[in-house]
Structure 1
């Protein structure tokens, strides 16, 4: 039987490309995002191109309780999730004391709380079956602080630490956990976060392909791109200074 992958944040960017990669390898899919319209368009494309089963579940995981509702919907359809991809995330750029508190709270809810809840709920099922894979999307920002984007980088530091820890716990139960930590990627993220596009950003399709390959190899951490691999090995203080200068240049606000 075909395995099933559930991908959050599947309507665009890395999530969209991951859906295409998994479908090309004949996985059935559950696509999750806020926009049912975008998900349905992608689902139709994948069904026609790859002859796979695709379920669409429109949920806003930044809302309290949404993760449990999504889990219950999957259970009600009696679908076994073999691979969980926690890709949904949001960012915000600006001086911490000036940005809106509600945006920080939404970021923490989506990037940390929802990811943790999804991992908790679906990993329990995987442990029972002694089989499963989890891919949590972090960032090169997981490795050092990021002035002007402080809360976002802090949430991604959580993703990396959390993923590496539970990877050790779940290994004995046949469940692997991988943290994907890309640098800048050509998606709508920069515009949504309130900053300019990053020069030299990687294509989302390339990141998705490397993520899929690394997941199958049971890697604990995947950092796509040679420059990103070098960046994360620099001293944290130096990386923080680089992040500070980069965010100053990329911020859409002038201070």
Structure 2
């Protein structure tokens, strides 16, 4: 049984991309980290590397497919069984895609919505009661710049990220008198894997101006979270695009976004 006086940061989607960078950045800051991701060798590799680099801290991992309805409860039960008290919950796991709505079957969208929205809400609901008993606790929900726009050829993804943004801001207001802070991270282009790199190339100069590394995004997000900020938008250009979204007529936005994201159609 692990020492129950220890607290842990729990990161979902922790084996790749932003999630991996967040887990590594938390470890650099001296935190104990729980890594949750699909049960693949990469998860074990990342966890082993952190254990080797930070031998005086505690790390553990759980392989779980968060598209499964039972996954959030299984993750919570795993923490309870092992005495892992979570004071930082980072809901990062998510799935993106591009292409015409009918290019994917219904099971894909069901899984995407389950992962991007339902699992995030369920984990928050499960861990929040105990987090409220701690001196200080934090929740970081990973949205997207897509949270701020309706995006043709990326409609389900952008809708799920809008949900994450709205849920995070609403719950933050509910909890403003408590010890639990909530921040929503809304990054633009992040070069997380070869497929994302290829899609980013297809987007051209506009995407190149906004792209950042996972480490840059992770460091910025944690900094904003610990300062109690409601929203983290890494980089100057993404902030500029968000501002332009309030100025450019909606019909023009739709035309521009449709032209941009149809290039990513598979």
Task: Say yes or no: TM over 0.5.
Answer: yes
Counterpart position of 1:246: 260
Residue matched to 1:224: 234
Q: Which runs of 5+ in 2 are unaligned?
A: none
Which of 78, 90, 105 is equivalent to 2:83? Answer: 78
Aligned counterparts, 1:22-101, within 5 A = 22-51=26-55, 52-101=57-106
Q: 2:189 aligns with which of 161, 177, 184?
A: 184
**2:14 and 2:43 in contact (8 A); partners too:** yes
Question: What is the SS of the residue equivalent to 1:72?
Answer: helix
Tell me which residue corresponds to 1:13: 17
- 2:212 is aligned, of 171, 184, 202, to 202
Alpha-carbon deviation of 1:244?
1.6
Please give the alpha-carbon distance, in whole angstroms, between the structure 1 residues aligned to 2:233 and 2:256: 18
Distance 2:195 2:116 in 1: 16
DSSP 3-state at the match of 2:166: helix
What is the TM-score with the length of structure 2 in the denominator? 0.89
Whether 1:120 aligns to 2:125 is yes
TM-superposed deviation, 1:240: 3.6
Q: Is the 8 A contact 1:2 1:26 kept in 2?
A: no
1:161 equivalent to 2:171? Answer no
Cα distance between partner residues in 2 of 1:100 and 1:79: 38
Residue 33 of structure 1 and its aligned partner are, at CA, apart by 0.2
Q: Which digits, 9 at most, give the CA deviation of each residue in 1:31-85, with x for residues without a partner?
A: 0001342122111111221232101111111111110111011011111001000
